[in-house]
Amino acid sequence: MINILLIASIFGFVLSTLLFLKKTTNTNATFFLGSFYFILSIYALQTYIVDGGNLDKTRWFFIWPLIPYNAICIPIYYYFQAIFKDKIQWKKRQILLFVPLLLSFIDVGYIYLYPDTVYTPILNDAIVNPEDRLEVNYLLLHLDQHVFIRHVWHLGVLLIILPQLLNFLKLGKEDRLKGILNKWLRLFWGVLFIFAISAILYVLEKMGVISIFNNFQHGELVSLTLYLTFLSIGVLPVYFPSILQGYPRVIKVASLSQKERDNEVSELKFGLQEEEITTKLELLNQKKLYLEQDFNLTKCAQEMEMPAHHISYFLKSYYGMSFSSYKNNLRMEDAKKLIEEGYLKNNTIEALAGECGFATRTSFSKTFKNETELSPSQYALDIK
pLDDT at 220 over 60: no
Q: Are residues 297 and 219 located together in one domain of the fold?
A: no
> Is residue 301 domain-resident?
yes
Residues 203 and 330 in one domain: no
| Residue 238 in domain | yes
Q: Residue 258's pLDDT is what?
A: 43
pLDDT mean over 299-314: 80
Environment class of 127 (CB within 10 Å of its CB; exposed 0-12, middle 13-18, buried 19+): middle
Model pLDDT, residue 38: 93
Q: Which of 229, 244, 259 is the last residue of a domain?
A: 244
Q: Are residues 225 and 316 in the same domain?
A: no
Asked whether residue 266 is assigned to any structural domain, the reply reads: no
pLDDT confidence of residue 95: 94
What does the pLDDT read at residue 52?
A: 82
Residues 181, 317, single domain; the answer is: no
The answer to whether the beta carbons of residues 158 and 193 sit under 8 Å apart is yes
What pLDDT score was predicted for residue 73?
Answer: 94
End-of-domain residue from the set 244, 261, 294: 244
Number of domains in the chain: 2
Q: Can you tell me the distance from the alpha carbon of 7 to that of 232, in angstroms, rounded to the nearest whole number?
A: 12
> Do 221 and 306 share a domain, yes or no?
no
pLDDT of residue 221: 53
> Is residue 379 included in any domain, yes or no?
yes
150 pLDDT band (50/70/90 cuts)? very high
Residue 230's pLDDT is 67
234 with 286, same domain: the answer is: no
Q: pLDDT per residue over 231-245, tens digit each?
A: 677 777 777 777 776
Q: What is the pLDDT of residue 262?
A: 40
pTM as predicted: 0.69
Sign of CA dihedral 301, 304, 305, 306: negative
- Give the pLDDT score at 231: 66
Q: Please tell me whether residue 274 adopts helix, strand or coil conformation.
A: helix
pLDDT in tens, 262-289: 443 333 344 456 677 888 888 888 888 8
Under the banding of pLDDT at 50, 70 and 90, the label for residue 71 is: very high
108 and 190 share a domain?
yes
Confidence grade of residue 341 (pLDDT, cut at 50, 70, 90): confident
Q: How much is the pLDDT for 26?
A: 73
User: Does the pLDDT at position 123 exceed 60?
Assistant: yes
Across 173-184, average pLDDT: 81
Note whether 230 and 114 are same-domain residues: yes
Q: What is the mean pLDDT of residues 44-68?
A: 88
pLDDT at 154 > cutoff 90: yes
Judge if 227 and 277 occupy the same domain.
no
* Domain of residue 354, CATH code: 1.10.10.60
Let me know whether 147 and 203 are in one domain. Answer: yes
Q: How confident is the model at residue 306 (pLDDT cuts 50, 70, 90)?
A: confident
CA dihedral 225, 227, 231, 232 (to 10 degrees): -10
Nearest to 162 by CA among 195, 179, 178, 186: 186
Q: Give the whole-angstrom CA distance, residue 238 versus residue 234.
A: 8
Residues 205 and 311 placed together within one structural domain of the fold: no
CATH number, domain at 120? 1.20.1070
pLDDT (average), residues 297-301: 83
Is 70 exceeded by the pLDDT of residue 103? Answer: yes
What's residue 267's pLDDT?
39
Q: Answer whether residue 32 is part of any domain.
A: yes
C-alpha span between 140 and 126 (Å, rounded): 19
Domain membership flag for residue 262: no
Q: What is the pLDDT of residue 214?
A: 56
Structural domain boundaries, residue 355: 273-383
Beta carbons within 10 angstroms of residue 118's beta carbon:
17
The answer as to whether 162 is a domain residue is yes
Q: How far is CA 180 from CA 238, 240, 279, 361, in A?
A: 13, 8, 29, 40
Q: Where are the beta strands (DSSP E) in 159-265?
A: 250-254
What is the average pLDDT value for the chain, to the nearest integer?
A: 82
Is residue 260 situated within a structural domain? Answer: no
Region 119-125: mean pLDDT is 89
- Mark whether 231 and 306 lie in a shared domain: no
